[in-house]
């Protein structure tokens, strides 16, 4: 089984993938590529980030979940430990520029500011380590995982440089086929409501009526209809979930079940 993930080997998506599935791990250059490769059958499963506990939603993932034929079958929370990575003979005082994915740079903004280091955006955390290695410039460093440093034979100049030590990223494991609803579990939905007073309240009232806990709500603009919105919702399932979901489907359009999956725990370390 081929499992595609966004980023280079050693990326946080790669680390999450090893906790979520077994098989041949395939690095891909974007979230879009993960969805496209899954839809084409080039990979059997895909791993994508969906949200970070500090920086919030990964909007591109939400957009592709709505547009593409992919289903969530598992979730995983990965504790993010950011490292400042440079050349083995570089000193911390030399570092002027730090490369990484924009979210990682934002998550380490306090450290960068306090050390007078200039952030440089790249497509991926692990990929940024490869970039500075190829540049062969000692005053450039990268923010990535410990594994990315080892894979590229680079040095960890400082560990745990993130602003907040409770820094987690939630990942989804995707398949072309949905899994069955079993308890205990979550279901992720996306829908749009009429632009009328009380439209969203009607949905929330259904959850209340059937004693269903909503754990997440995220809105995204409908790209083909300006200033209308899609609502992405996660719920904790109970014996009434299927009835509630059918009722919501009947009063919303568009509507899509994004997947059913076991509830993952957050391990604090």
Q: Which residues are catalytic?
A: 169, 171
Nearest Cα neighbor of 172 from 56, 258, 269 is 258
- Name the token pair of 31: 């979230």
Q: Peptide bond before 254: cis, by omega within 30 degrees of 0?
A: yes
Instruction: Please give the torsion angle defined by the CA atoms of residues 117, 123, 128 and 133, in that order, rounded to the nearest 10 degrees.
Output: -120
Residue carrying the six token digits 């004693």 = 211
Please provide the size of the chain in residues. Answer: 269
Phi, psi of 12 (to 5 degrees): -60, -35
The 10 Å Cβ neighbour count of residue 236 is 15
Long-range contacts of 195-198 (CB under 8 A, 24+ apart): 195/228
Tell me whether strands 45-52 and 2-6 are parallel, antiparallel or unpaired.
parallel
d(C-alpha 233, C-alpha 140), whole Å = 41
CA geometry: angle 170, 172, 175, nearest 5 deg: 180
ω into residue 184 within 30 of 0, thus cis? yes
Distance of CA 172 to the CA centre of its chain: 7
Are 107 and 81 in contact by the 8 Å Cβ rule? The answer is no
């Amino acid at each position: 089984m081929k499992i595609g993930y966004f980023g280079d080997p050693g990326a946080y998506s790669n680390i999450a993938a090893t906790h979520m599935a077994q098989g041949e791990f395939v690095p891909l250059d974007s979230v879009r590529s993960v969805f496209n490769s899954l839809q084409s059958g080039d990979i059997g499963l895909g791993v994508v980030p969906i949200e970070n506990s500090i920086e919030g939603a990964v909007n591109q993932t939400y957009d592709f979940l709505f547009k593409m034929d992919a289903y969530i079958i598992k979730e995983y929370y990965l504790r993010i430990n950011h490292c400042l990575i440079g050349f083995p003979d570089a000193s911390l005082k030399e570092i002027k520029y730090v490369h990484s994915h924009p979210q990682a740079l934002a998550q380490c903004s306090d450290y960068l500011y306090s050390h007078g280091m200039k952030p440089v955006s790249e497509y991926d955390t692990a990929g940024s380590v490869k970039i500075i290695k190829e540049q062969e410039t000692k005053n450039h460093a990268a923010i990535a995982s410990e594994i990315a440093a080892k894979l590229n034979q680079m040095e960890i100049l400082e560990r745990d440089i993130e602003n907040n030590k409770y820094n987690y990223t939630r990942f989804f494991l995707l398949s072309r086929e949905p899994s069955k609803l079993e308890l205990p579990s979550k279901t992720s939905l996306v829908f749009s409501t009429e632009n009328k007073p009380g439209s969203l309240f009607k949905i929330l009232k259904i959850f209340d009526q059937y004693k269903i806990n909503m754990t997440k709500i995220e809105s995204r603009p409908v790209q083909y209809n300006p200033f209308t919105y899609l609502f992405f919702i996660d719920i904790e399932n109970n014996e009434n979930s299927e009835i509630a979901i059918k009722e919501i489907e009947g009063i919303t359009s568009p509507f899509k079940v994004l997947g059913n999956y076991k509830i993952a725990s957050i391990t604090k370390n």
